[in-house]
Structure formats: structure tokens, C-alpha cells
A and B are shown apart, each in its own frame.
Chain A
Amino acid sequence: MSVDMLLSQIFNGLSLFTILALMAIGLAIVFGLMGVINMAHGELMAMGAYMTYLTSVIFSRWLPGVMGASFLVGIVVAFLTTAAFGLLLETVMIRHLYKRPLDTLLATWGVSLILQQVFRQVFGPINVSVPTASWLQGAWSPMPGLDLPLARVFIIALTLAVALGVYLFLFKSRWGLRIRSVMQNRAMAGAAGINTARVDAVTFAVGCGLAGVAGSALTMIASTGPATGQQYIVDAFIVVVFGGVESLIGTFVSAFMIGQMQSLFEMPFSGSMAKAAILLLVIVALYFRPSGLFSIKVRR
């Protein structure tokens, strides 16, 4: 194997890693920190993707002069819409099911079914795709023989930005402090004067908003359809569980490992067998490390 091939292989894995990480980071907050099983997470991604699509349609119709900015605006719109939907979902449904995780799972599955049908009726059953902005077309060649598509490079940058944003939000902001204290000790945090119900709502909304950003990024590499969410939900959960549910760093490491393995396995195997092999490997790994790669040592 030549150096070029190896490098492009690593880049492929890196690009898969960023997609997985973007998908999983929202789920890591919702599932990892809050313990809520949101089966509609995939559909929230699809919602973000559709919002990006809508933004690009609106820009091309009314603001063709600044078409280049449509994708960046699309990401913001996607975040805000899905976060608002998450806030609504938390208030109406999730809030009443915190003590019953299995029931949450079923109820959010119902939400995902309804969202799928809404997408199908509003946007049609056929996949839609967002035209790539002109400044993201083409490829970057750091050395001859190695072409890195700009769109993928942008996703990597976006992932880094999101990771940094999440880090700053959780560890350097007032809200992050409240979130961490509620997740660590709900009763104490409440006694210290933190409105735990509001913290729950905000945390859930942020997790959902990140799903929207992931969906936005997804439009650059794949078209969006009503069933898009279903394709990614298992991957997202597996990444979070493999990484260790209480650790955001674990989520990134596990996304990195799964992404690299996937791109490696796709050479000898067919696409579906590669995916099956990885899922199986992760399950076996979980058997030996039930609480994931990075687990906080606690007495249970």
C-alpha cells in the first residue's frame, strides 16, 4: 500500500469519525448525561438537514446574491429549530417519563414515526439534496496524489468547532455549571437553588440542537429523505455506549475508533458486512468493558 493510499484511507476514516462524532455528541448529552433514551434523535438530525435544505431554497429564490452564506445560515437555523422542538418535546413528554427509561424509549419512537410521516408529506418521499456552496466545491491538495474534498475538510472543521463549543458551554459557562451540578447530584443542586426542571429542559434542548447541526453537516455528503434518521440511530447509540455514557471525551474517542475501523473494513468487506462486523466488535468489546471505554469509577 502506497503512502498516498494510506493517507487517503486515514482521511476517509477521519471524515467518517467527524460525522459519527457530530451525530453522537448530541446523544451523549441527552443519553449520557441525562439518561434519556431519545429514539427520535435520528429524526431530529433529519429535521436539521431539511431545515438546511429549506434555507438553501429560500436563499436561491430571494437572496441569490449571498448564496454562499446559505449553508452557514442553514446550520444556525437547523440548530435553533431542533433545539426549539427539543424544548417542546421535553416539556410535553420527556419530563413526565424521567423515572421510566423504557417508556421514554417507546414514546420517543412514536415521535420518530410521526416526524418521518410529516417529512414524507411536507418534503415528499423522494430524497432532497442541498446544492454545495461554491466555496466548498473542489478539493484541497496538500501534496500531489492526495485530494481532500473541501466539503469533508469543512465538516472536520465544523466538528472541531462544535466540540470546542460544547466544551466551553459545559465547562466554562454558568449554564454548564448548573447542568453538571444537576447531573451529578440532583437533590443537592436543587437545594442550592438551581431550578432543576429548567436545567433539564435546557440540556435536552441543547442535545437536540446538536442533532440538528449534525443533520446540517450530513447534507454535504448525502441526500436527505424521510428515512434518513433511521439509518443513523443505531450508529449514534453504539458510539455513545462504546465511549462510556458519562464521558464526552469517550464519545469522541469511540467515534474516532469506529470511524477508522469502518473505513479499514470497507476495503476487504462489502459495505453492509463491514458495518455488521463493526457492530459485532463493539458488542464484544462492551462485553469485556460493560461501562464503555471511558467510565467514571463509581460504586453501583
Chain B
Amino acid sequence: MNLFDYTRADTLGAAVGAEGALLAGGTNLLDLMKIGVATPSRLVDVTRLPLSQIEDHGGGLRIGAMVRNADLARHPQVLARFPAVAEALLSGASAQLRNAATTGGNVMQSTRCSYFMDPLSPCNRREPGTGCSAIGGETRNHAILGWTSGCIATHPSDLCVALAAFDAVVEIAGPAGTREVPMATFHPLPDANGVPPALAAGEVITHIRLPDPGGMARHARYVKLRERTSFAFAIVSAAAGIAVQDNRIVAARLALGGVAARPWRSTGAEAALLGQPPIETNFARAAELALQGAAPSGNNAAKIVLARRIAVRALTLAAAGTPDRMPALPASVFEGDDHG
């Protein structure tokens, strides 16, 4: 690990415009520093910023960037209004990591592309213009949507998939003032030479805002395919919400995880569901639309099939309704409502 300065910002004013890498839970940044992928000369500890509140916001919620993942997942209003957000959180990492990791840090975490994580492999995401080593390599975990010859990495977050599905907005404070970006487009997609930064220099995520979910509050699920039952990144995942009146879908949300450099929200699929009965054939058609344009970035064509099927699964489970209690195995494909 390189030598670095450590400073702490106790006020938002001190954090905004500060030079250096922002350090929150450190569950990703410190790992990257240890393996030489991140070599900041200065760390700015933002964990003491007064951003640890979860506030009511017109039927929705406004979540401080420093709220810990574990606290967010167990918050009564999150469980009541955004159960898929809680389920996504609880399906990620481990209890210890969730105790440390923050909401803002989760959004800002880096891809786990093994070539990005290997300082010896050229990587446009690390150093623009050097090329993408993943192409032609081991690509089982790589993108099937939105990738370019410049980068085929995926975003690893579970939380962001659920946030993107439920119209979350990222509130950002910067030297030039504040701005807002929808979660679904917050993470830039790659171009041919790399990936633009999501935040400009000196910017800080302050809050994540979730609008009123309406009738979807009790019809929301997150489902995650993975090789082991916990502590594994998604092969593919999906967050879905459905509101139904008189057997017709009046609102639908769908986002996929593990498929692209950002959570892959599909408004086209959502629009196609409106006015339709909540039945599997309609979900399958929506899933087709969600995967429109999907292409393998290597030896990962199976992910296209899996992504389509997990989208159908998430929509089906959402239509069936959120369980009253968080499943013992959150987001597990084995925790359905029709077996036992």
C-alpha cells in the first residue's frame, strides 16, 4: 500500500471539493488499495458527516449517504415501503460487511472485474486508453448489455439494482452546487476508450431519494442467481415491482443486475406491461424487451437466457406479493412462494 495522508471531514462543506479519495465504510476502497489498484495520496474520511438519517419524504424516503447497509436493510420504513431494497441489501456481502458499508459507498463501489482488480492487466476503466483485458479472457461474470470494445465490466451492487428499479435519485453536492441524477443512469456506460467518472472532482453523494412506491410497496421483490447461497456476487439478478388494479397492471418496475456497467432499468419492458394482466406470458414478453440488444461479451451467452428468466421470476414473485417477513434466504431462488 502506498503512503497516503488521512484526513477527516466533519462537515459537508469540508468534504465537498476536498482533494483525495472519499473513505466511507472502506469495504471496497481499502481492498483496492491493498492490491495496488487504488493508490490515493490522500483519504478523506466522510463517515462522520451528518448524513446518517433516513427521513420520510412525501410517501417515499430520503436516505443519507452514510447510512450503513445493515441499518438501511432493517429500517421499518424501508421494509414497509421498499422491501426489494431491503432484500437486495440482505442478499449482498456478509453481515460484517453490511455493518461497515454505507449507502453512498455501495453506489460508488468498483466493478469486481478480475482484470480491473489486477494492476498488471491493462484496463481502460483504471487507465483510459490502455485497452480492455477482459475481452478474450475469462468473461463468465461480464456484461451482456451496454458494453463496448472499451469495457465489458459489470457493476456489482445488489442495492443499486433495487434503487434503480424504484426510481431512486442520487443527490450530489459539488463545488459548483448541487445536482440530481436518476440512479438508473448514474453509472456511466463505457465508451471505446474507457468509462467516464460518475462524479466530478470534489463531488459528494449526500442522499438517495426514493419516491412513493404507491401500490408497488407490497409487490416488490429482488431475486439473485448465484453459485452459493450467500456472500457471492450475482451471476444475474432482478428487481421488480408491480401494481395491479382489476387484474390489470397499472405500474411496473424492472431492473437487472450483473448484466451491465450499471443496473439495467428497462422502461420499455415496464411500459409494455401497463394495462396487461399479470400473467407469465406478459412477463416473458417484458423480459424479452428488457434484454433487447443483449449480446455476449465473451463466453457468457448463457447469461442472456438467465437474465431473461430471472426477470420473469422477479416479476412473477412481485405480482404474487411481498412476503410479510423477509425470507430466511433473501433473494434466493429457493425461497419462492410455491414450494415448501
| Chain B associates with chain A | no
Residues of B within 8 A of A (CB): none
